[in-house]
């Protein structure tokens, strides 16, 4: 029994991590050259309103069908006879994209309200919406607050004009600061700024200036990611042709160290590999749900869901998604059921991303010699009974997990 508690009765992970709903809106004005997400660039088309209304209607229908089907319908085949149909209370909602705030304020709010209409939502649930600065407005934020939104995640990426131009962003360096003020005025309680470092042409001073601008903006959470290039993107093809330099690993490592120093000096807690918060209460609860191997529904184009070791995903095509939902078919195009070894690997790979690591009861069975090997290599520690990555192990996470589960 003790050897299965990490799956059946965890303290912080799995079902103990909460229950989330992820909803995806794929629309963007323009698909940035580095973007590999499921997006649909609509530009300034005048007929977009009809498309937006159709898509929101499909989202609401998709969510209602999943909820009505019950948990057994989405559970792994090996667990369905032991799974209740009742859904737990929702602890986090995340509306991502794309650019969800391209939707008119009423439609954007309607997507959020759909979750409240279909499921029980905890009184203290975190309700997040992604927003690009150029789509921000007082009317938008007022509508979102009225719908129950508690958190905005803003795609600032950089505060250096030349870097924004390289990244093909559609906003000025000043616009995110104004958008943060608008969100605060409307009553948004928590605001994250997303940043990208290591863009070709960016200097150390550019990155330092961006970080200082973030500190001055009055946000309480920062997500900072190294620029990652996917082969299928315009950036990937440009690098293949030799017309754009690829990211430099050493430069990105230096930029990461700069972020750690400046944000730390500004009072931010570095609580996950790429995330900083002004205290534990400002951590992203929805992202913690992912890192703690929790369960969440997937609604919309290209959305991924997870329930008790079964993962599924929907079509990345907006047209195929709309047709499937409107014809009464599932938009899911793939799924997989993880066996116990795969779930153990994910539990470690995700859980060790968080600063405090895993509760002792949530750690899968480890061979004592493998654990000793990882400890001796300086990749993990068992401080206070918790399995945690060291500073070195945090940035060699694949190696750390490979040693723990050879």
Please give the structure tokens belonging to residue 5.
Answer: 């508690």
Question: Looking at residue 72, what DSSP letter applies?
Answer: H
- Where do the CATH 3.80.30.20 domains begin and end in the chain? 2-291
Structure token pair of residue 366: 């480890």
For 109-167, the pLDDT digits (tens) are 999 999 999 999 999 999 999 999 999 999 999 999 999 999 999 999 999 999 999 88
pTM: predicted TM-score of the whole model, two decimal places: 0.95
DSSP state of 84: -
Consecutive sets of 10 residues in the chain, 406 residues long: mean pLDDT of each?
A: 77 96 91 72 71 96 97 88 89 95 96 98 98 94 98 96 90 94 96 95 96 96 91 76 83 93 97 96 97 96 96 96 98 96 96 96 95 96 92 90 94
C-alpha 227, offset from chain centre: 16
Question: Phi and psi (nearest 5°) for 232?
Answer: -80, -5
Centroid of chain to Cα 42: 23
How far is the first Cα of the chain from the last one, in angstroms, to the nearest whole number? 23
CATH class of 2-291: alpha beta
Strand locations in 106-220 (E): 121-131, 151-157, 190-197
Q: In the block, which residue shows the tokens 């934020």?
A: 141
Question: Exposed, middle or buried, 4 (CB in 10 Å: 0-12/13-18/19+)?
Answer: exposed
pLDDT of 46: 58
Q: What is the pLDDT, as a whole number, of residue 1? A: 40
Token pair, residue 55, equals 């898509």
Query: What integer pLDDT is reported at residue 3 of this predicted model?
Result: 59
Long-range contacts of 277-282 (CB under 8 A, 24+ apart): 277/220, 277/221, 277/222, 278/220, 278/221, 282/190, 282/220, 282/221
């Amino acid at each position: 029994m003790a050897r299965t508690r990490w799956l059946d009765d965890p303290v912080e992970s799995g079902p103990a991590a909460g229950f989330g709903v992820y909803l995806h809106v794929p629309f963007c004005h323009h698909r940035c050259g580095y973007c590999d997400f499921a997006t649909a660039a609509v530009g300034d088309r005048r007929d977009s309103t009809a498309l937006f209304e159709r898509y929101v209607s499909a989202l609401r229908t998709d969510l209602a069908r999943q909820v009505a089907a019950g948990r057994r319908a989405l559970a792994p085949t090996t667990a369905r006879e032991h799974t209740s149909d009742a859904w737990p209370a929702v602890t986090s909602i995340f509306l991502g994209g794309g650019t969800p705030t391209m939707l008119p304020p009423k439609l954007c709010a309607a997507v959020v309200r759909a979750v409240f209409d279909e499921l029980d939502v905890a009184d203290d649930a975190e309700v997040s919406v992604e927003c690009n600065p150029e789509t921000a407005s007082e009317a938008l934020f007022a509508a979102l607050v009225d719908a129950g939104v508690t958190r905005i995640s803003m795609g600032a990426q950089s505060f250096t004009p030349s870097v924004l131009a390289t990244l093909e962003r559609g906003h000025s360096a000043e616009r995110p600061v104004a958008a943060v003020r608008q969100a605060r005025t409307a009553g948004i309680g928590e605001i994250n700024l997303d940043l990208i470092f290591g863009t070709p042409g960016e200097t150390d001073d550019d990155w330092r200036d961006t970080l200082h601008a973030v500190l001055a903006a009055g946000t309480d959470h920062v997500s900072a990611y190294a620029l990652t290039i996917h082969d299928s993107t315009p950036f990937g093809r440009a690098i293949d042709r030799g017309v754009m330099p690829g990211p430099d690993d050493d430069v990105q490592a230096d930029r990461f160290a700069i972020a750690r120093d400046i944000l730390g000096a500004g009072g931010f807690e570095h609580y996950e590999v790429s995330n900083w918060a002004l205290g534990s209460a400002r951590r992203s609860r929805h992202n913690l749900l992912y890192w703690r191997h929790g369960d969440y529904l997937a609604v919309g184009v290209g959305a991924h869901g997870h329930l008790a070791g079964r993962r599924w995903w929907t079509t990345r095509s907006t047209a195929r998604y709309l047709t499937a939902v409107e014809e009464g078919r599932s938009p899911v195009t793939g799924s997989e059921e993880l066996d116990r070894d795969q779930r153990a690997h994910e539990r470690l790979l995700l859980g060790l991303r968080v600063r405090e690591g895993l509760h002792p009861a949530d750690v899968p069975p480890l061979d004592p010699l493998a654990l000793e090997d990882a400890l001796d290599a300086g990749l993990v520690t068992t401080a206070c009974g918790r399995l945690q990555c060291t500073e070195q192990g945090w940035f060699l996470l694949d190696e750390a997990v490979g040693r723990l589960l050879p």
